[in-house]
Chain A
Amino acid sequence: MSDASDATGGKADTTEQQGGESAGQQGNESAGQQGGESAGQQGNESAGEQATIPDDAVLELESVDSGYGEVQVLYDLTMHLRGEEIICLIGPNGAGKSTVLKTAFGMLTPWTGSVRYHGEDIGGMAPEDIVRKGIGYVPQTENVFGSLTIDENLRMGGTARDDDLGPILEQLYDRFPLLQDKRREKARNLSGGQRQVLALARALVMEPDVLLIDEPSAGLAPNTADEVFADVRTVNDMDTAIMMVEQNAVKGLEISDRGYVLDQGTVRFEDQADDLLDNDEVVELYLGG
């Protein structure tokens, strides 16, 4: 997995991998230029030039401004997700990490810029339609139907599937045996970690190409968080690309291929996850180093 993305991502990385102080500037500038240039054009060609959005990106946000009501949260944000990779969005509270996911999933409509999935503009499309395209979303909180059983939760996750849910449910129960044991229990009776697994499994019933996960480790004890991270990794191994927001930046980056550091609604750094972990400035400013 990481080998493949390293190979395809090589070109993009060299421009970013300046290290030290310039990495921050570079990241900023390229995001800015990207936005400016592409405003008039269709995205993919300009992305090629800039190497900011590669051709094999499945999900792209380009020069996106977004927010809630009157309050702007994202400013000219550009990022992408390639097939089969995990990327992690880190950054301080209020940086707009969750807003990126909500904008990508149609829960917020981008004010300007575009959200593209396999080249198709999906900005502002309704979540129930985006799900049908092949993107799944796991919210940070209230991410299971508490009053429904485990089995019903998974069935709801498969609402948009036309085929019989039996085979995919069996497959998910095999993968997450703890759900199998409790399939007739109400989801509200699950522990925090179990809920997170169910939330993940609910989104997986659609077998999405892209999964957006908001803070999978929120509120979990360290051990449990590790298990959930391991599950996220497994999901990725099933050929699902993952865009994840994570407060626990180090852990999040450790399981990711690439990372984006967000601050004040825009991308400050973007790099291979390993390199972000080694970047002194990122460590000092954002990883509590």
Chain B
Amino acid sequence: MAVLDQLIELTADGVVYSSIIVLGSIGLSLIYSIAGFANFAHGDTMTVGAYSTLVFFGILGGTSISVLGLPLSFFLALLSGIAVTAVVALVTERFVYKPLDIGSIGLLITSIGVAFVYRALIQIQFSADSRRYDIDRLRPIEWLLQYNIRMTEHDIAIIASAIVLVVGLHLLLQHTDLGRKMRATADNPSLARASGIRVRRIELWTWIIGAGLAGAGGAFLGLFNQLVPRMGFNLLLVIFAAVILGGIGSVYGAMLGAFLIGMVVQLTPILTSIGIPIGSEYARALAFLIMVVVLLVRPQGIAGEAVGGGG
């Protein structure tokens, strides 16, 4: 029975953690599919979102009205933080990635440098010490405790926000003109141009959306844990694993991969409880092991297209 209790508790944590990983993975996948390189600055882009939100929340202060234990001003700060993150990504794209004509490997390495710059600037401004949003920590929700689910209203807010953003992105991709053009451009940029799509505009929108979601993920990560300059970078490998597991360039694959990887990472402690001597310090190793096994069976990832099978 103790194992079951632990399972429920870890699952609850896993869903919250996965929500954050999902937000990070979508952006990485979107940007990969349009810009054509693995953006190693994506984790630190999340950090930018977390700290921007911190700054705006500091300016706005708390409000008496709150939703799910979060002052309304926090949501306002979150939106502002998302906007700043998008702008930072756009500026980086315009003045660093775009002018460089060095291929995908060159851009990948450049993005590692960009990651260092983001992190260093944040550290200069905010120091390496951990920070918190000035919001009272909450006790787990009472009525959920009777089912052994330890979840705060903040956790619910993170999950709900992630669902809203994911559903919103889905509607955008499937039912709007911009979304169709984003998919068309990711699928075949040269045919997109031949069809009259202004590909540059689509690229910029993709950066805005990808970085915006990462910014939201970062802010939620700060709420879930705390803010440190390495917070996003620490997640980067897990996010890469999620994107690769889901199928590189597939947004829906990234969502699924992120959810799976997030759950695996959070559920690992259960193994010790059922007698398998793999401690939680191996959580990430286990996540990567699962990724490798899946890729051995299905090299294109869960939702990816078989190589050469695309149009």
Q: Give residues in A with beta carbon < 8 Å to B.
A: 105, 107, 126-128, 131-132, 136-137, 139, 142-148, 152, 155-157, 159-160, 186-188, 195, 202-203, 206
Contact = CB atoms under 8 A, between A and B. Distances in A.
Interface in B171-222: 180-181, 183-184, 186-188, 190-199
Contact of A126 (B180, B184, B188, B193): B193
Contact of A128 (B188, B197, B309): B197
B277 interface: no
Contacts of B193: 126-128
Interface of B: 180-181, 183-184, 186-188, 190-199, 305, 309-311
Contacts of B188: 142, 145-146
B310 A147 contact: yes
A188 B195 contact: no
Looking at B181, B196, B199, B310, the one whose CB has the most chain A CB atoms below 10 A away is B196
A148 B186 CA distance: 11
Contacts, number: 79
Contact of A202 (B183, B190, B195, B198): B195
Nearest to B198: A128
A108 B169 CA distance: 35
Nearest to A137: B194
A186 to B, nearest CB: 8
A139 B194 contact: yes
A156 B197 CA distance: 8
B195 A157 contact: yes
Contacts of A139: 190-191, 194
Contacts of B195: 131, 156-157, 159-160, 202
Given A139-B194, A156-B192, A202-B195, A146 B183 contact: no
A222 B183 CA distance: 33
B196 A148 contact: no
A142 B190 CA distance: 9
Given A128-B193, A128-B196, A159-B195, A146 B180 contact: no
A148 B194 contact: no
Contacts of B197: 128, 156, 159
Given A148-B180, A155-B180, A156-B181, A206 B310 contact: no
Looking at B180, B191, B192, B198, the one whose CB has the most chain A CB atoms below 10 A away is B191
